Amino acid sequence: MQEARERKKQKTIALAMAGAGARAVIYFGILDVFKENGIDISMFATCSSASFVALAYASGTLDKMKERVLNMDSKEMLGLFETSFKGGIFSLDKIEAEMRKYIPYSNLEELPIPVSVVASDIVHGEEVVFSMGNISRAVKASCSMPGLFEPVVWGDRVLLDGGLFSIIPVEAARASGSDLVIGIDLASSRNLFSNPVLHLKRGWNFVFWPLSLIKRVSTKAYRKYVKAYQDQANIDEIKTPNLFSILGRSMNYAIKERRKAEYFNCDIVITPSVKGFGDVGISKGQAMYEEGRRAAEEALPLIKKLLQK
């Protein structure tokens, strides 16, 4: 009875989880250590592949998902990638179907533990946080890595990987009002794109910026004075996102590094070693799981200290 009272008094914890493809297996190890030490998570703020783990935790099916993933071979993993070419090379439909086996809820607001899923809108250049509404749409949007997966079109938005603006979605975690925000960084870099790729894009922008400026000015003027065309043009543009324009816009936003400072807004950041762990390969799943446990155990003393303040 006394132990139950103490657990009720525990400060609320928001977990801000970076997405990192197959490296999200590391989260299973981290959450297992938390569970073993009585550290309950009050809410999750996630992006990309981290969303699957958070949703399973909130649904009470984390152990089943962990068992499935750790026993999945590379052939099975690759079998989940279905070609699309609709603004991306692959569709997320098969991955969504696999996720659905562990998530018995349709909408985010139905979950016993709140989960906020972060995506990036490349039309308006802003972060979009899903805390209510359809789970499948939110996860698809947050997992749609530019150029790799087809984007999610929602109203006048084109939604892509949440990591484009928020490598670790700390702002969404802070918005929950939780007492403690723990960030977990599984990203191998601070951007979705490598530095050489971004350097090439900077050079391209420098060479062709006069043409881009002329295009923007002429398009803006045309839409301003031809109102009937304006609304229809916006709709048509958004319905048919082009793969190369998506990549171009995404790289431009990555170059700006708009949310870099939020990385330091956590009460504590857990940074497991991701060296040798790829974005897609699952063959090192057990090693990833063990690294998650190691990193969580290393962080336990500080987490417990912060909870006691």
Report which of residues 277 and 18 the model is more confident about. Answer: 18
Mean pLDDT of 164-176: 86
Q: What's the pLDDT band for 114 if we cut at 50, 70, 90? A: very high
Residue 262: which region, alpha, beta or left (left: phi > 0; alpha: psi -120 to 50)? alpha
The predicted structure's pLDDT at residue 208: 41
| Spatial CA neighbour of 156 closest among 244, 250, 239, 252 | 239
Distance CA 113, CA 57 (A): 8
Q: How confident is the model at residue 86 (pLDDT cuts 50, 70, 90)?
A: low
Q: Residue holding tokens 């990036």?
A: 120
* Rounded CA separation 272/27 (Å): 10
Per cent of the chain over pLDDT 70 is 68
Alpha helix stretches (DSSP H) within the chain: 2-8, 25-36, 50-59, 62-70, 74-78, 93-100, 135-143, 170-174, 195-225, 227-239, 243-256, 285-308
Looking at per-residue pLDDT, the higher value among 217 and 48 belongs to 48
* Model confidence band, residue 206 (pLDDT cutoffs 50, 70, 90): very low
Encode pLDDT of 233-258 as tens digits.
343 444 545 554 555 554 555 545 54
The pLDDT of residue 247 is: 52
pLDDT per residue over 216-234, tens digit each?
444 454 444 444 444 433 4
What b/e readout covers 36-71, taking b as 16+ CB neighbours within 10 angstroms? eeebebbbbbbbbbbbbbbbbbbbebbeebbeebee
For 134, which DSSP code?
Answer: B
Which of the residue ranges 144-153, 193-202, 292-301 would you say has the lowest mean pLDDT? Answer: 193-202
Sign of CA dihedral 97, 126, 156, 255: negative
